[in-house]
């Protein structure tokens, strides 16, 4: 019997061979001058094309959206040409790939910003943590509040990135609305102290998210647009007062877009799946009418169960895909997994990136 996890699924306009998704993974190997991906990325993503869908590493929609060294961009023609090699290779290997569209907001440093600008954020409130710059780990810089013109420009940056993603041959995009970056900063009160139409009530804090979705879906179609949210995650120093109520407002309002999927970080990103009293992922999931992608600490049994029971249409695996390019085949056979080397997760060359063995390599 074929387990449901390994059966095809169509997420919006994206036809997937199975329901195992490669989650977005920041690996810091793009060219730091140009923000372009290179030949190494072509091999890395093609090796992982056995996933039903690959979500690319987080990719900035503008130079102002960058917050770490060597993360890639999708804001000019050079990026289109560079990513085109990746999408062609993934498609030739039978896979599907969307690009994760990212703006870091306040999680940045003046040394990573054009002309040494302060990072932009909903409000001038620092996250109080460190990011990885050219000089190693440094405290993130004090941000400045986005002006209304700056918000309009940011929405247009997401729109352009979606258009360029189509030119680059991606099957769609995933809007990064999670993990304490710009969109999540607007959604959550710990970072958003605005007193205009973008702050205060959740109707206002969610405005940027919906404006981005309006722009992206009108550009490329809702059925090629996914969205990642992390309602309860404290990632990157984010906090908020009433996440359950706020996301019970947000999630049903996603239904009008006909999204390819909603990708949910179920708990603390990369950490615990435990929620606090009064918090429920299942309740939020029940408010979404489209395909649902679960993420965060799934193992084989959890993924099989989630898809078989209909709790999720797809399950995204992150870290296991770093060390197991053939993760889907390993899950199918219930084969052992390679362990990833943390020292090569972020930055470096091909070592720890494109040199992890497949089951076939071991047998040879
Ligand atoms: C790890 C390191 C840097 C960035 C996220 C884009 O958490 C990230 C990220 C993860 O969404």
Q: Which residues pair with 175 in a beta bridge?
A: 101, 227
Lowest mean pLDDT among 131-140, 260-269, 318-327: 131-140
**pTM for this one?**
0.98
Cβ–ligand 1 distance for 179 under 6 Å, the answer yes
Neighbours of 124 (CB within 10 A): 13
Residue 362 binned pLDDT confidence (cut-offs 50, 70, 90): low
Helix (H/G/I), strand (E/B), else coil: 66: coil
Neighbours of 212 (CB within 10 A): 29
Phi, psi of 73 (to 5 degrees): -120, 165
pLDDT (mean) for 35-60:
98
Contacts of 301 (CB under 8 A, 6+ apart): none
Domain ranges of the chain: 4-363
Question: Ligand 1, atom 7: nearest CA belongs to which residue?
Answer: 179
Which ligand 1 atom sits nearest the alpha carbon of residue 236? 7
Q: Is the Cβ–Cβ distance between 18 and 52 less than 8 Å? A: yes
For a mutational test of ligand 1's pocket, the pick from 27, 29, 57, 58, i.e. the residue with the most ligand atoms closer than 8 A to its C-beta, is 58
Question: Ligand 1, atom 2: nearest CA belongs to which residue?
Answer: 26
Express as a percent the part of the chain with pLDDT over 90. 98
Distance CA 70, CA 347 (A): 8
Q: How many residues does the chain have?
A: 364
Query: Angle 66-84-79 (CA atoms, 0-180°, nearest 5)?
Result: 30
Question: Ligand 1, atom 8: nearest CA belongs to which residue?
Answer: 26
* 225-229 and 14-16 strand pairing: unpaired
Which residue, among 119, 113, 192, 188, has the nearest Cα to 150 in the 3D structure?
119
Distance CA 271, CA 209 (A): 25
Residue 8 binned pLDDT confidence (cut-offs 50, 70, 90): very high
The torsion angle over the Cα atoms of residues 179, 315, 279 and 182, rounded to 10 degrees, is 20
Q: Is the Cβ–Cβ distance between 327 and 321 less than 8 Å? A: yes
CA 347 to ligand 1 centroid distance, Å: 13
DSSP letter for 108, please.
Answer: -
Cβ–ligand 1 distance for 26 under 6 Å, the answer yes
Phi, psi of 5 (to 5 degrees): -55, -30
Distance CA 316, CA 154 (A): 28
**Cβ-count burial 23-48 (b if 16+ within 10 Å, e if not):** bbbbbbbbebeebbbeebbbbbbbbb
Name the residue with higher pLDDT: 90 or 134: 90
Cβ–ligand 1 distance for 58 under 6 Å, the answer yes
Which residue, among 2, 129, 120, 145, has the nearest Cα to 64 in the 3D structure?
120
Residues assigned a catalytic role: 181
Which residue, among 317, 336, 315, has the nearest Cα to 7 in the 3D structure?
315
Which ligand 1 atom sits nearest the alpha carbon of residue 178? 11
Cβ–ligand 1 distance for 68 under 6 Å, the answer yes
Q: Is the Cβ–Cβ distance between 361 and 338 less than 8 Å? A: no
What's the start-to-end Cα distance of the chain, in Å? 29
20, pLDDT greater than 50: yes
Q: Within 271-326, where are the H helices? A: 281-285, 300-308, 319-323
CA-atom Rg of the chain in angstroms = 19
Domain range 4-363, CATH architecture: Alpha-Beta Barrel (3.20)
364, pLDDT greater than 50: no
Which ligand 1 atom sits nearest the alpha carbon of residue 269? 7
pLDDT digits (tens, 9 = 90+) for 263-290: 999 999 999 999 999 999 999 999 999 9
């Amino acid at each position: 019997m074929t387990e449901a996890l390994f059966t095809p699924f169509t997420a919006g306009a994206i036809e997937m061979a199975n329901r195992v998704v490669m989650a977005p993974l920041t690996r810091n190997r793009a060219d730091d001058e140009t923000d372009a991906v290179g030949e190494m990325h072509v091999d890395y993503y093609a090796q992982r094309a056995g996933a039903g869908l690959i979500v690319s590493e987080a990719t900035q929609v503008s130079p102002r959206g960058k917050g770490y060294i060597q993360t890639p961009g999708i804001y000019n023609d050079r990026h289109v040409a560079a990513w085109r090699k990746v999408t062609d290779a993934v498609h030739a290997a039978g896979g599907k790939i969307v690009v994760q569209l990212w703006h870091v907001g306040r999680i940045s440093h003046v040394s990573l910003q054009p002309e040494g600008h302060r990072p932009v954020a909903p409000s001038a409130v620092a996250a109080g943590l460190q990011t990885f710059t050219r000089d190693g780990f440094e405290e993130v810089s004090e941000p400045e509040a986005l002006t209304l013109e700056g918000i309009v420009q940011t929405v247009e940056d997401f729109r352009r990135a979606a258009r360029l993603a189509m030119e680059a041959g991606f099957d769609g995009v995933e809007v990064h609305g999670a993990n304490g970056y710009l969109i999540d900063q607007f959604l959550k009160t710990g970072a958003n102290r605005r007193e205009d139409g973008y702050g205060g009530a959740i109707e206002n804090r969610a405005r940027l998210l919906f404006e981005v979705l309006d722009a992206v879906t009108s550009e490329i179609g809702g059925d090629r647009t996914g969205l990642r949210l992390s309602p309860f995650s404290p990632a990157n120093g984010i906090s908020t007062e009433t996440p359950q109520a706020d996301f019970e407002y947000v999630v049903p309002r996603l239904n009008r877009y006909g999204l390819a999927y909603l990708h949910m970080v179920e708990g603390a990103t990369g950490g615990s799946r435990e929620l606090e009293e009064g918090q429920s992922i299942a309740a939020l999931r029940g408010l979404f009418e489209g395909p649902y992608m679960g993420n965060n600490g799934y193992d084989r049994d959890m993924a099989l169960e989630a898809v078989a029971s209909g709790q999720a249409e797809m399950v995204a695996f992150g870290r296991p895909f770093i060390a197991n390019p053939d993760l889907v085949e390993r899950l199918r056979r219930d084969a052992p997994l390679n362990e990833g080397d943390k020292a090569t997760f972020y930055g470096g060359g091909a070592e720890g990136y494109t040199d992890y063995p497949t089951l076939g390599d071991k047998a040879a």
